[in-house]
């Protein structure tokens, strides 16, 4: 569904990108209506993107990096700014210059009646609404002025804005994440006090819903059986490593075996292929060596119920069987072509 929209924006990027900084926007932004809309979205997305970069740069300018670092500080903006030879623009001066020029190009585009005059209502409303402060003022303008002047209803405008947001949401976050967020916020402000403001799925979404046993969206995590050759069984054995005398090496140390009584550490440092040297280089414990007699770890047999170490079980129930409910015999699997498009599948057919 979003492929044509994505292609329109990709083509628009090919027109606008190489001409960034060129204030003669009519020389490269003309064309059919869909092409001009794509040009506008690219320009507006560029403005929103670099506006956010300016805000991030202001944050960096006013906040010194703490000695031990901070999640808030390190998680702000583009992490590539920390590279020794950063390929991006991140200083306040550079970001401000790019933002200012992008804003100038967008303003010139909007001010040209030949380019912007026949745009659909939702795009025109986006441009005008971003200049209005306050949700109440925005809704009053939409109901009393904008919609009557365009011959549309507020419900129709909200529907168009919602479709526009849905298309933007399918675009990549860089550089369309910021404008997508603005369109979403605008739609939410437009829908306040209406039936559109109610999300029928809200009671079933989020962590609180999944943790409430009385909610249909409740999901209880549980442990289940694993084959003894599986990685889960292999790593679970590390919880009992201390009891087996293998130290912090866990399952790996136990599988390799304890230090051989006949082995000697002499000359290890000179042998890069020695197991102890390899483990040391990997940061693993070196209190392992050659096994005098090989023995397999005492993992549980497949026919027995798997016993999960208490450290990983943390009170969860075992083998509730929810995953097995998804199992369907091959003879009963229905292909997509067997179901009429748009038809609701009854429970007895699911």
Residue predicted with more confidence, 79 or 153: 153
Longest Cα–Cα distance of the chain, Å, equals 94
**Could you tell me the pLDDT band of residue 217, with boundaries at 50, 70 and 90?**
confident
Q: Which residue in 198, 117, 131, 165 sits closest to 141, CA to CA?
A: 131
Q: How much is the pLDDT for 119?
A: 96
Positive or negative, the CA dihedral 343, 346, 349, 350 is positive
Tell me the average pLDDT across 36-64: 90
Three-point CA angle 219, 224, 225, nearest 5°: 165
Residue predicted with more confidence, 191 or 62: 191
Q: How much is the pLDDT for 343?
A: 58
Tell me the average pLDDT across 126-143: 94
- What is the C-alpha separation between 151 and 149, in angstroms, rounded? 6
- What is the C-alpha separation between 331 and 187, in angstroms, rounded? 47
Looking at the predicted structure, is the pLDDT value of residue 114 above 50?
yes
- What is the C-alpha separation between 330 and 74, in angstroms, rounded? 50
Q: Token digits for 248?
A: 């912090």
Query: How long a stretch of residues is the chain?
Result: 350
Angle between helices 173-191 and 33-62 (to 10 degrees): 100
Tell me the percentage of the chain whose pLDDT exceeds 90. Answer: 42
Full-model pTM: 0.61
Least-confidence region, from 149-158, 164-173, 221-230, 339-348: 339-348
Q: How much is the pLDDT for 229?
A: 73
Tell me the average pLDDT across 100-108: 96
Tell me the average pLDDT across 272-297: 54
SS3 assignment, position 258: strand
- 85, burial (CB in 10 Å: exposed 0-12, middle 13-18, buried 19+): exposed
Q: How far apart are the first and last CA of the chain?
A: 26
Q: How much is the pLDDT for 304?
A: 63
- What is the C-alpha separation between 301 and 254, in angstroms, rounded? 18
Q: Which residue in 283, 294, 282 sits closest to 256, CA to CA?
A: 294
**Could you tell me the pLDDT band of residue 80, with boundaries at 50, 70 and 90?**
confident
């Amino acid at each position: 569904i979003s492929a044509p929209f994505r292609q329109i924006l990709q083509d628009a990027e090919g027109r606008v990108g190489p001409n960034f900084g060129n204030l003669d926007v009519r020389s490269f932004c003309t064309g059919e209506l869909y092409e001009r809309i794509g040009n506008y979205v690219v320009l507006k997305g560029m403005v929103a993107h670099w506006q956010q970069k300016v805000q991030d740069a202001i944050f960096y300018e006013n906040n010194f990096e703490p000695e031990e670092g901070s999640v808030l500080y390190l998680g702000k903006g583009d992490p590539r700014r920390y590279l020794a030879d950063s390929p991006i623009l991140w200083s306040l001066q550079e970001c401000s210059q790019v933002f200012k020029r992008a804003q100038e190009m967008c303003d010139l585009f909007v001010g040209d009646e030949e380019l912007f005059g026949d745009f659909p209502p939702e795009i025109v409303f986006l441009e005008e609404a971003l200049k209005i402060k306050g949700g109440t003022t925005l809704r009053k303008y939409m109901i009393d002025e904008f919609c009557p002047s365009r011959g549309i209803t507020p419900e129709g405008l909200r529907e168009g804005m919602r479709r526009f947001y849905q298309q933007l949401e399918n675009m990549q976050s860089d550089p369309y994440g910021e404008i997508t967020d603005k369109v979403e916020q605008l739609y939410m402000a437009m829908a306040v006090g209406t039936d559109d403001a109610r999300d029928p799925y809200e009671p079933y979404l989020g962590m609180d819903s999944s943790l409430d046993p009385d909610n249909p969206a409740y999901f209880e995590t549980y442990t289940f059986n694993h084959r003894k050759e599986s990685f889960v069984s292999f790593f679970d054995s590390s919880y009992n490593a201390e009891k087996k005398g293998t130290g912090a090496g866990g399952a790996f140390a136990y599988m390799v075996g304890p230090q051989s009584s006949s082995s000697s550490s002499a000359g290890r440092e000179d042998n890069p292929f020695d197991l102890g040297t390899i483990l040391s280089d990997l940061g693993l414990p070196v209190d392992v060596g050659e096994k005098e007699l090989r023995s397999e770890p005492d993992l549980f047999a497949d026919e027995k119920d798997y016993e999960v170490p208490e450290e990983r079980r943390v009170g969860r129930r075992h083998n509730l069987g929810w995953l097995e409910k998804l199992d369907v015999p091959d003879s009963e699997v229905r292909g997509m072509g067997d179901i009429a498009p748009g038809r609701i599948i009854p429970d007895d057919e699911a």
